Amino acid sequence: MSETLDQQNQTPVEEGAGAQAAPAQPLSGESPPMGQVPSTATPLEIPSPEISPQEIPAEVLLSAEVPSAARPQASRAYRCQCGRPVFFRNSQCLACQTPLGFDPPHARLLPLQPGPTEGTWLPWDEPDGAPLQRCANFHTASGCNWMVPVRQDGSTPSLCQACLLTRTIPDQSVPINQQLWTKVEMSKRRLVSQLILLGLPVVPLTEDPRGLAFDLLGAAPGGPRVMTGHANGVITVNIEEADDAVREKVRAAMREPYRTLLGHFRHEIGHYYWDRLVRDGPWLEDFRTLFGDERQDYAGALRLNYEQGPPADWQQRFVSSYASTHPWEDWAETWAHYLHMADTVDTAVSFGVNSDNVDLEHEPFGVADLWQPDAPDATQFLEFINGWVRLTAVFNELSRSMGQPDFYPFAMPRATVGKLQFIHRVVTGAAAVEVVTEQASGEAQPDVAQAPALQPLA
């Protein structure tokens, strides 16, 4: 996560940051010429949301935070019509060969049956339901298993909500790029499914100047590396990070305890949502109180970190050493951990994992560690955090039993609990804004997007 671009002007911090990418293929929307990294030197003017969290009716905010320990926000445990377990990335049940497809608005992996016309599908248990069709990338190296609704006016999009965000793909004439693209898109779909589930705004940059786009690029042969980073709604990902050997070599060289594709996506999307939700909104002053003043020299802070390393006391104040570099990176690293925690807990609860059964003594975090001790869901948030500590301690021991690195190789200092709660409140507020906006516009609202509450592991 340490190879990033200056958010404001893409100033490269390491030599080679201005790498010329290998020929790339536009996937959707207005794309740069092949072989060029898109220029985003001129910042977009991103307006503030029309509705601020302070204007949201109290009953809406509270309903978005009602604790629900009995079930996950949306199940990550799926079953085929034959009763066998199937998984998020599956497009066919291996037991009975039933076709499967992911339904993004409702976070369901659906068993499918042929629809009324060629190329359309219906949910297995909804023969009279609305027809769906597969994302056009199902038949590409991406192997996308997401579904799109068939519209009566014939304007059905060919790409799903996740693939519409990808603006540029790597050159598919290079065989290795097909394998890397498969892995990159798989991680991106996991990310996007969680963003939708949390009720966060997920809109392509081609449709909204505040929207999001991904450029998935590879370096030209013999050329410098492409830099993974975010600028003005565009997230650039170096597809070499999908090569396990390359990624592990970089991780060791950077002395990082953890480096994954999904981690990169969750870190960089944090930069995007800082611009979208914090920069021009009512959260900015509280952000500066907790994380620091983002107006300090960003490129200089990165250079200082690379030259001198993190401060000696970073483990008492930050979720990772890289988070100590600059307030933007503290936010992005903490945001990534929030997404890691929320998705892992959802998955654990989906499969019946209960941290209350963990026989492990630890000193729990308390109300004094919170940013807003009087928040409506403060007790639930503390249960979530303390359950996470117990659960990951066991997961780490399980990993060690297999001779593998720790599942969660981080120690969470008390200073980060308030930051995590702040991010939770920003996410919850953004989801409530989306609900109110949809209600005002008369748009249909998916069931799962109405309750972005963290789940206690109980």
pLDDT tens-place string over residues 76-102: 999 999 999 999 999 999 999 999 999
3-state helix/strand/coil string of 98-154: CEEEEEHHHCEEEEEEECCCCCCEEECCCCCCCCEEECHHHHCCCCCCEEEECCCCC
d(CA 209, CA 287): 24
Give the pTM: 0.83
Distance CA 393, CA 412 (A): 12
Are the CB atoms for 262 and 191 separated by under 8 Å? yes
Q: Are the beta carbons of 62 and 452 closer than 8 angstroms?
A: no
Return the pLDDT at 170: 94
| Cα 453 from Cα 393, distance rounded (Å) | 23
State the Cα–Cα distance between residues 379 and 360, nearest whole angstrom: 21
- Expressed in angstroms, the distance from the first to the final Cα of the chain is 32
What was the pLDDT predicted at 48?
38
Can you tell me the distance from the alpha carbon of 428 to that of 434, in angstroms, rounded to the nearest whole number?
A: 10
Determine the pLDDT at residue 252: 94
Could you tell me the CA-to-CA distances from 260 to 121, 184, 266, 371 in Å, in that order? 34, 10, 10, 29
Q: Find all residues with CB under 8 Å of 285, minimum gap 6, and list them.
A: none
Q: CA 388 to CA 345: how far, in whole Å?
A: 8
pLDDT at 260: 95
Provide the strand spans (E) within 177-272.
213-217, 229-231, 234-238
Candidates 245, 137, 237; CA nearest to 191 is 237
Q: How many residues does the chain have?
A: 458
- What distance in Å separates the CA atoms of residue 218 and residue 282, rounded to the nearest whole number? 38
Q: Which residue numbers in the chain have pLDDT < 50?
A: 1-54, 56-71, 436, 444-458
CA gap 338, 341 in Å, rounded:
5
